[in-house]
Copies of this chain bind each other. A is one copy, B any other.
Amino acid sequence: MGGQIQREIMQLILDRGLRPGELLPTETELMDDLQVSRNSVREALKALQALDIVEIRHGYGTYVGQASLTPLADGLTFRTLVQLGGDDVHALSEILQVREVLEEGLVLRIIDTIPDADIDELDEIVKRMETRAKEGEVFPDEDRDFHEVLYRSMGNALVPQLLSAFWNVFHRVAGARGWADDPSPMGTARRHKEIVRALRARDRERVEAAMSTHFRGIETRAKKAMRGVG
């Protein structure tokens, strides 16, 4: 089997109780431990690096990785581009649909419990969005921060990583295809502002409507981009 050595290295990490950030044995030591050649060790490490299970630093050593969702973003990006290449724009709307279902469900779970401090922070982010929008600029970083702060109070580390992965796919595909930036930053800022207002009012129906409107905005923007270039 090709993935045998990979599994042995993963098991070695688990057996020795190594934690993310800690140093792995050197390639030479792994050769001795697993009784395989250096090339085989390196191929296994490269595969594990692609999964963010290990992190390799030239001239220093190999660490246990964070097992982030980077590989998910990589895989989905490639998957989308390959399908777009075959004249299929369906893949991107599938990702958008999953993200929408997730966020509309998530926001209802935090509506009663999100601290006022977090809502204040969302307000600040929206203010920055508005400032940039007035100058005709786009604000991908603020957009990213917004959705991260929104679900921070859940204490679920997987949620922001998953959303971030979807977000990355969307923007990387847009970049690779040469699509234009958000054509209406003012509208995007306004839709985020309405989410914050609805949240502050702790108004369930209004929050649902605001989040739904937010995603209609993204959908429109994506379809425009596809028509415009693709």
**Which residues in chain A, 2-19, are within 8 Å of chain B measured between CB atoms?**
2, 6, 10, 13-14, 17-19
Q: Is A82 touching B156 in the complex (CB atoms < 8 A)?
A: no
A103-128 CB mask vs B (1 if < 8 Å, else 0) is 01110010000000000000000000
A75 in contact (CB, < 8 A): yes
By the criterion of a CB under 8 Å from any partner CB, how many residues of chain A are at the interface?
55
Q: Which of B13, B18, B69, B95 contacts A75 (CB under 8 A)?
A: B69
Q: Is B102 touching A78 in the complex (CB atoms < 8 A)?
A: no
Q: How many identical subunits does the complex contain?
A: 2
A30-44 CB mask vs B (1 if < 8 Å, else 0) is 000000000100111
Q: Is B20 touching A82 in the complex (CB atoms < 8 A)?
A: yes
Contacts of A162 in B (CB 8 A): 98
Contacts of A64 in B (CB 8 A): 82
Residues of A with Cβ closer than 8 Å to B?
A: 2, 6, 10, 13-14, 17-20, 39, 42-44, 46-53, 56, 58, 64, 67-69, 71-72, 74-76, 78-79, 81-82, 85-86, 91, 94-95, 97-98, 101-102, 104-106, 109, 154, 156-159, 162
Interface pairs (9), CB distance under 8 Å: A14-B81, A43-B43, A46-B46, A46-B50, A47-B47, A47-B50, A50-B51, A53-B75, A68-B75
Q: Which 6 A-B pairs have the closest CB atoms?
A: A67-B79, A47-B50, A101-B105, A105-B105, A71-B71, A43-B46
